Amino acid sequence: MSTSISPLATPFPDLPAVAGATPRVARAHYKTWDRCDLTFVTLDEGTAVAGVLTQSKCPSPEVEWCRKALVLGKARALVVNAGNSNAFTGNRGRAAVEAIAARAAGQLGCQPSDIFVASTGVIGVPLPIDKAEAGLDAAFNAAPSDWRAAAEAIGTTDTYPKGAVTTAIVDGRTVTLVGIIKGSGMIAPDMATMLGFIFTDAAVEPAFLQAALSAANGKTFSCITVDGDTSTSDTVLAFATGKAGNAALTGDDSPGADAFRAALADLCRQLAMLVVRDGEGAQKLIEITVTGAESDRSAHRIAMSIANSPLVKTAIAGEDANWGRVVMAVGKAGEPAERDRLAIRFGAVEVARDGLAVEGYDEAPVAAHLKGREVEIGVDLGLGDGRATVWTCDLTHGYISINADYRS
């Protein structure tokens, strides 16, 4: 992880243990760094799993492995490798995933399909099986770690470890949900962020866990972007150990189903915000809200067009209320929009209305707003009831520096 912490960073919370999930970390030495880079989480028998995976047409072997294993709905362990994404590595990459799953399954006495694997880092370099197996052996023999150590071990260009916790009352029992996540660049998911892992002691059937995670994702991970680039390895997995003792959630009619859905959505939002706050080179968190669109889907596409615009992002980095760049991003989105109905605001101040600049608006509060760490942009299309909110960060020289030197 980087030694220069993002100015938008938040402290790592005190994450409680989750019954039935035990994390361990070890050094596989995937890169020449003096830190743990392999995470191994064992899961008790009966653990349910759900996931959302990258929509990239060039996915890693790990993503393909998880996609097949998710159909079975059960898990006994998670293995995460940091420093090597193992993507675009052909049969050698697939062999590495199979070797990792087989070794972990042998240790736990389960099927390889019960092992979930994720990797992050440089694309195009096969994951060295000897290092992976040695790292796993070290993890098997390591003492259990806390969630902070696990969050640190899965990071790459992250500048701080990311974790979140929430609780819910389900069937009269308090259930705990804990999550760790990594991500800083190559963030523009259609499903999830780079790598995120959620653990709960709630008893949840796999189908309902999948439905709840997919719904939460749509309003959280799929609403963030750092640079417009969707990773080959994007993975979010949720594991439910069932140790809380509640009657298993099987659908929306189950007692506590609404509370669980709300808690999971809250946790996913917390995790998603942590990723945007650590955008490579970021100095400002930007919230973009689009209203008055013909549909929510249309509003989302327009909001993401604004969020992914280098011209908008650099204007915010320069603390310049250049609303013309917002107009440009709305116009290029390919969604219904009428110039003469458009309104734009920065913070609480409307700067354009009915397709024109607001005559004589006071720039002082706008300038003050843009000097802050958190910036709001609002766009109203005046066409319908569709609305969406997305989050991004500014684009600075730091982003170029980090990515120009990434492989060196």
Q: Kindly give, in sequence order, each residue whose CB lies less than 8 Å from that of residue 405, ignoring residues fewer than 6 positions away.
A: none
Nearest Cα residue to 287 out of 318, 316, 310, 262 = 316
Nearest Cα residue to 329 out of 346, 350, 347, 307 = 307
Map residue 54 onto helix, strand or coil: coil
Q: What is the strand order of the sheet 374-380 is part of?
A: 356-357, 349-353, 343-346, 374-380, 285-293, 386-393
Q: Kindly give, in sequence order, each residue whose CB lies less than 8 Å from that of residue 140, ignoring residues fewer than 6 positions away.
A: 24, 40, 107
Contact (Cβ atoms closer than 8 angstroms) between residue 221 and residue 52: yes
Q: How far apart are CA 141 and CA 138, in angstroms?
A: 5
Q: Annotated binding residue at 193?
A: yes
Between β-strands 356-357 and 349-353, what pairing exists: parallel, antiparallel or unpaired? antiparallel
Q: Kindly give, in sequence order, each residue whose CB lies less than 8 Å from that of residue 130, ignoring residues fewer than 6 positions away.
A: none
Total residue length of the chain: 408
**Active-site residue, from 193, 220, 291, 396:** 193
* Residue 29 burial (CB count, 10 A): 16
Task: List beta partners, residue 169.
Answer: 174
Nearest Cα residue to 323 out of 363, 354, 284, 351 = 351
- Measured CA to CA in angstroms, residue 66 lies from 54, 97, 234, 237, 382 at distances of 11, 10, 11, 9, 43
Is there a catalytic annotation at residue 193?
yes
Query: What are the phi and psi torsion angles at 270 (to 5°)?
Result: -55, -45
Q: Annotated binding residue at 182?
A: yes
Q: Kindly give, in sequence order, each residue whose CB lies less than 8 Å from that of residue 177, ignoring residues fewer than 6 positions away.
A: 165, 166, 167, 168, 198, 199, 200, 202, 263, 264, 267
Contact (Cβ atoms closer than 8 angstroms) between residue 122 and residue 403: no
**CA dihedral sign, ordered 212, 215, 218, 224:** negative
Structure tokens at 310: 């280098």
Q: Annotated binding residue at 408?
A: yes
Could you tell me where the DSSP H helices lie in 34-179?
61-70, 90-108, 129-140, 147-153
Structure tokens at 389: 């909110």
* Residues identified as active-site: 193
> Which residue positions form the known binding site for substrate?
156, 182, 193, 280, 403, 408
